[in-house]
A = this chain, B = another copy of it.
Amino acid sequence: MSAIPTLPVHPAAKDCDPRDLGWMQGSPPPADKLIRFQDGSGYRFPQLRWSFAHYRQMVPTVAVPRGLKAATALPASAQALPDIRYTPMGGVGTCSWADMMEATYTDALLVMRQGQVLFEHFGGVMSAQQQHIAMSVSKSFMGLLAACLVADGVLDETQRVDHYAPELSGSGFADATVRQVMDMTTGIDYTENYADPQAEIWNHMRAGGVMPSPPDYNGPRNFYDYLKTVRKLGTHGERFTYRTANTDVLGWIVTRVSGQPTAQLLSERIWQPMGAELDAYYTVDPIGTAFAGGGLNTGLRDLARFGELVRNHGRAGAHQVLPAAAITDTLAGADPARFAANGPATLPGWSYRNMWWVSHNAHGAMMARGVHGQNIYIDPKAEMVIARYASHPVAANIANDVHTLPAYHAMALALMG
């Protein structure tokens, strides 16, 4: 486990509010306020403070319909948000909740306890009607959908990948088990260092149309064709290594087993029964494949509803929406010993199960996490769920964790009195 690195200096969140900076305002917007997919400006900071809430203006997408029923209520709590202080990891002194929000470039944040909303904030270009990209929080949706199919008995986690996707028989995934994919313990030749322009993750994203390709690009043109090119490196099952390719392989398997495209499955299994208030959407590759590893966009409140659904072991009101066994299995986590070597420095003792990050702390907390600060934080003991969208200049979540993890835990303790 590496040390927490020193972070580069970026403008403070308050000095790069995307509304104040005027991105994409005007008819047409001035040239220096344009954000375009093709020139890559949507991924640059501070432009990403706008584009993270406007992905579908840049790339093709598919809807995750909420259905036609009324949304499940998110009642306000009578309890006020406690006034907490926390010490940042590796830091000195103490910070407030507001400090955490500012230090981590928070776009939108919601705190629930016992199903009631204590705090809701929309900043920058976010609003209650706007979806924001969840980045790798998307993975936790796919991981849980797969866990549900396992609990239903229609997906066998002990089977090899090539049993379900024979097209991957020539790839490094062929002899991995579904369980190894679900827990990201596959041994494959694929790096996900966002600071390295040569990392495999960029080829993956270019193939999926999530990133612009250079004019002379002649690589794969969809997720399926990309995944077939991934080679084996090392041994499956030995240790956790965070690699997005696993989630898209899992998406392939889940789609094949369920017979439903990812967006439709998410709509029917979760989005409609949990009573979402906004349609969600996935970015799609040039043949319409949802980007299971990082392409989900949702409203903040629906992210919170989903967190609450998980906290309640799959129940929404009186209705058992998801099999409780899938949640129990996720909350239990995986083996922290397999996680330690490659886990983030900010997550000592954690593990990764069904594409959720499990703390194994005294509260049994677990998280869904996406680059640049996307979070669902579930604290079962405190009966607390936090949903957060952010646009931190640094992709790696350790940049957020140093503030968010101690702040979330301090909030849990304060709420428990």
Interface check A222, CB cutoff 8 A: yes
> Is A36 within 8 A of B71, CB to CB?
no
Q: Which residues of B contact A67 (CB under 8 A)?
A: 129
CB<8 Å pairs between A and B, sample of 18:
A24-B288, A27-B255, A27-B289, A28-B287, A29-B288, A35-B288, A37-B60, A54-B288, A56-B62, A60-B60, A63-B131, A67-B129, A68-B71, A68-B128, A68-B129, A215-B215, A278-B279, A279-B279
Interface check A141, CB cutoff 8 A: no
Query: Which chain A residues numbered 210 to 256 have a C-beta less than 8 Å away from chain B?
Result: 215, 222, 224, 252, 255-256
| A contacts, CB < 8 Å to B | 24, 27-29, 34-38, 54, 56-63, 65, 67-68, 70-71, 128-129, 131, 215, 222, 224, 252, 255-256, 261, 277-279, 281, 284, 286-289
> Is B57 within 8 A of A284, CB to CB?
yes
Contact of A288 among B38, B57, B61, B286 (CB under 8 A): B57
> Is B60 within 8 A of A59, CB to CB?
yes
Within the complex, the shortest CB–CB distance from A253 to chain B, in Å, comes to 9
> Is B70 within 8 A of A36, CB to CB?
no
8 pairs of A and B residues whose beta carbons are closest in the complex: A27-B255, A65-B129, A28-B224, A57-B288, A27-B256, A56-B61, A57-B62, A57-B60
Contact of A56 among B29, B54, B60, B255 (CB under 8 A): B60
Whole-angstrom CA separation of A131 from B58 in the bound complex: 19
Q: Which residues of B contact A289 (CB under 8 A)?
A: 27-28
Q: Which residues of B contact A34 (CB under 8 A)?
A: 287
Chain B minimum-CB-distance residue to A223: B28
Within the complex, the shortest CB–CB distance from A303 to chain B, in Å, comes to 15
Q: Which residues of B contact A62 (CB under 8 A)?
A: 54, 56-57
Q: Is the interface of A mostly helix, strand, loop or mixed?
A: loop
Q: Which residues of B contact A37 (CB under 8 A)?
A: 60, 286
Q: Which residues of B contact A29 (CB under 8 A)?
A: 287-288
Chain B minimum-CB-distance residue to A39: B286
Within the complex, the shortest CB–CB distance from A160 to chain B, in Å, comes to 17
Contact of A286 among B36, B68, B278 (CB under 8 A): B36
Q: Which residues of B contact A56 (CB under 8 A)?
A: 56, 60-63, 281
Within the complex, the shortest CB–CB distance from A396 to chain B, in Å, comes to 28
Within the complex, the shortest CB–CB distance from A314 to chain B, in Å, comes to 24
Q: Which residues of B contact A129 (CB under 8 A)?
A: 65, 67-68
Whole-angstrom CA separation of A212 from B391 in the bound complex: 32
Q: Which residues of B contact A27 (CB under 8 A)?
A: 224, 252, 255-256, 261, 289
A57-B284, A215-B215 given; name 12 further pairs at CB < 8 Å.
A24-B288, A27-B224, A27-B252, A27-B255, A27-B289, A28-B224, A56-B63, A60-B60, A61-B61, A63-B131, A278-B279, A279-B279
Whole-angstrom CA separation of A38 from B213 in the bound complex: 14
Whole-angstrom CA separation of A33 from B29 in the bound complex: 39
Chain B minimum-CB-distance residue to A222: B28
Q: Which residues of B contact A278 (CB under 8 A)?
A: 279
Whole-angstrom CA separation of A128 from B66 in the bound complex: 12
> Is B70 within 8 A of A70, CB to CB?
yes
Whole-angstrom CA separation of A406 from B405 in the bound complex: 67
Q: Which residues of B contact A277 (CB under 8 A)?
A: 68
Whole-angstrom CA separation of A68 from B299 in the bound complex: 11
> Is A36 within 8 A of B128, CB to CB?
no
Chain B minimum-CB-distance residue to A62: B57
Within the complex, the shortest CB–CB distance from A278 to chain B, in Å, comes to 8
Within the complex, the shortest CB–CB distance from A227 to chain B, in Å, comes to 11
